Amino acid sequence: MARFFGRHEHSLDDKGRVILPAKFRTHFEHGGYLAPEQDGCLSLWTPEQFEVQMDAMIERASTSRSDRNLVRLWASTSHELEIDRQGRMAIPPRLREYAGLASEVLVLGAIDRVELWDRQTWDEKVLPEEARLTQGDDG
């Protein structure tokens, strides 16, 4: 199973593409799946991990109308993609809009997936948790 870690800063080009770091690319030789994630980022899943996510979504869809609608939204905005020879992947406009990706893109390893974040959104939503790492949970 693929595991991802590390932080990489890239820019979105004029065609809405971002470079996937070389150390991540081998896991996406047969493409990948880009999907909206909670907190306003995008998740890039390997085909194998995307299957796991789809199974979880199928199970979730049977719980309530609200969950069915969330599953519908997730499925309808998920996108199969290819990585080109230069390591670039095109992010569809709807997903760029969802994640607020305009120029700077943080490409982060998130253990079982790669996450794509707008730099400002990351700074507002996630970076404040850094204090917990440096001071401990009771900080």
Residue 35 domain flag: yes
| C-alpha 112, offset from chain centre | 10
Residue 105 domain flag: yes
CATH number of residue 120's parent domain: 3.40.1550.20
Residue 23 domain flag: yes
Cα 68 from Cα 61, distance rounded (Å) = 4
Do the beta carbons of residue 10 and residue 105 sit within 8 Å? yes
pLDDT at 129: 85
Please tell me the total count of domains within the chain. Answer: 1
In sequence order, the 6+-apart residues with CB closer than 8 A to the CB of 22 are 87
Residue 2 domain flag: no
Residue 53 domain flag: no
pLDDT, tens digit, 9 for 90 and up, residues 10-26: 999 999 999 999 999 99
Residue 80 domain flag: yes
Q: Which domain holds residue 23?
A: 7-46+75-135
Q: What is the DSSP string of the chain?
A: ---B--EEEEE--TTSEEEPPHHHHGGGTT-EEEEEEGGGEEEEE-HHHHHHHHHHHHHHTTT-HHHHHHHHHHHHH-EEE---TTSEEEPPHHHHHHHT-SSEEEEEE-BSSEEEEEHHHHHHHTGGGHHHHHH-TT-
pLDDT, tens digit, 9 for 90 and up, residues 47-103: 999 999 999 999 988 889 988 999 999 999 999 999 999 999 999 999 999 999 999
pLDDT, tens digit, 9 for 90 and up, residues 67-81: 899 999 999 999 999
Query: Is the pLDDT score of 110 beyond 60?
Result: yes
